[in-house]
Chains A and B, each alone.
Chain A
């Protein structure tokens, strides 16, 4: 999905991805990032601090946050579980966030 976002002028720079490793140490996150060559930022959350703030959901879990021009932000979509294709998921995100 990252590649699709970055290669399309309509989405490049407008959509950013970050990942959070629930319960993962910095070593584990680094290993994961290097092994799978993840091109976007990943954050460790060894003590589940972020995870607790997000409601202790099961994983994988996706949050889509729209950032408004005035700096405020709004949660526009959430999803538990993976997705079938990156294209379909991105399409859904664009619709839910009002970018399309």
Chain B
């Protein structure tokens, strides 16, 4: 701090290195295209699965093309499912860009990340394009609407999903569930801590 005081000019760069937890710190990249729903009921669903359960298999269309099926990773990769409630909303718009620079962490723990929302493919395409190139598949649980979210018990009463993270091991067993307060972004270290346990 002493060195800084001796300087003539201090440049303070305010940025979101990872992800923001609300409309605060929202990236300028999105300009005025982010719809702020205000504070929402933290959670609005009842889980239908629990840690230790075999995860239901699913196959969902990806923004990048084709379908991604959970069982294709069986015996090969740990799988992190990151459900975000809706495209073009504040917290979600900073959550995945944060994961996008954390690929080495997922690689370290032999994990793949699957980003999922109940938005349709065109919406997810336009929205994720603002984030630059994502290294992980972005999947649409749009039709039948929120079918996977409903099976897991994280479909909210308005048709969006919870802000939820599931970690599924290579045997297809659910090892971690975090149905987070929808208004807040889960910190990266929560995922890291759980992936560490799978080693």
In A1-57, which residues have CB < 8 Å from any B CB?
13-25, 27-29, 31-32, 35, 42, 46, 48, 51-52, 54, 56-57
By the criterion CB–CB under 8 Å, are A97 and B13 in contact?
Answer: no
Q: With A24-B16, A65-B10 given, can you name 13 additional A-B contacts, CB distance below 8 Å?
A: A15-B7, A18-B4, A18-B13, A20-B14, A25-B187, A35-B104, A57-B14, A58-B26, A59-B15, A66-B8, A67-B9, A67-B10, A97-B9
Among A16, A29, A63, point to the contact of B14 (Cβ < 8 A). A63
Chain B contacts for A28, CB-based, 8 A: 17-19, 98, 187-189
Q: Which of A25, A48, A63, A97 contacts B188 (CB 8 A)?
A: A25
Interface size on A, residues (CB 8 A): 46
Q: Which residues of chain A are near B17, meaning CB under 8 Å? A: 19, 21, 24, 28-29, 32, 42
Q: List 22 A-B contacts (CB under 8 A).
A: A14-B8, A17-B13, A18-B11, A19-B12, A20-B12, A20-B15, A22-B16, A23-B185, A27-B192, A28-B17, A28-B19, A28-B98, A31-B188, A42-B17, A48-B22, A52-B24, A54-B14, A59-B26, A67-B10, A76-B9, A80-B28, A93-B9
Residue pair B9, A15 in contact (C-beta under 8 Å): yes
Whether the pair A16, B9 counts as a contact (CB closer than 8 A) is yes
Whether A61 touches B7, Cβ cut-off 8 Å, given contacts A22-B24, A56-B24, is no
Selected from B6, B12, B19, the residue in CB contact (under 8 A) with A13 is B6
Chain B 76-105 interface residues, beta-carbon cutoff 8 Å to A: 94, 98, 101-102, 104-105
Q: A67-B7, A93-B9 are in contact. Are A58 and B104 (CB under 8 A)?
A: no
- In the assembled complex, B27 has its CB within 8 A of some CB on chain A: yes
- A83 smallest CB distance to B (angstroms): 10
Q: Is the pair B14, A62 in contact by a Cβ cutoff of 8 Å?
A: yes
> In the complex, which residue of chain A has the Cβ closest to the Cβ of B23?
A56
Q: In the assembled complex, which residues on chain A have CB atoms less than 8 Å from the CB atom of B6? A: 13
Q: Is the CB of A22 within 8 A of B187?
A: no
Central interface residue in B5, B18, B21, B188, by most chain A CB within 10 Å: B18
B3 contacts partner chain A, Cβ-Cβ < 8 Å: yes
The residue in chain B whose Cβ has the minimal distance to the Cβ of A97 is: B9
Counting CB contacts under 8 A, is B20 at the interface? yes
Smallest CB separation, A95 vs chain B (Å): 11
Do A22 and B10 contact each other (CB < 8 Å), given the known contacts A28-B188, A31-B102, A81-B28?
Answer: no
B56 at interface, CB cutoff 8 A: no
**Bound CA span A28–B21, Å:** 13
Q: Bound state CA distance, A14 and B9, in angstroms?
A: 6
Given contacts A23-B19, A28-B98, A58-B27, contact A66 B189 (CB under 8 A): no
CA distance A65 to B11 in the complex (A): 6
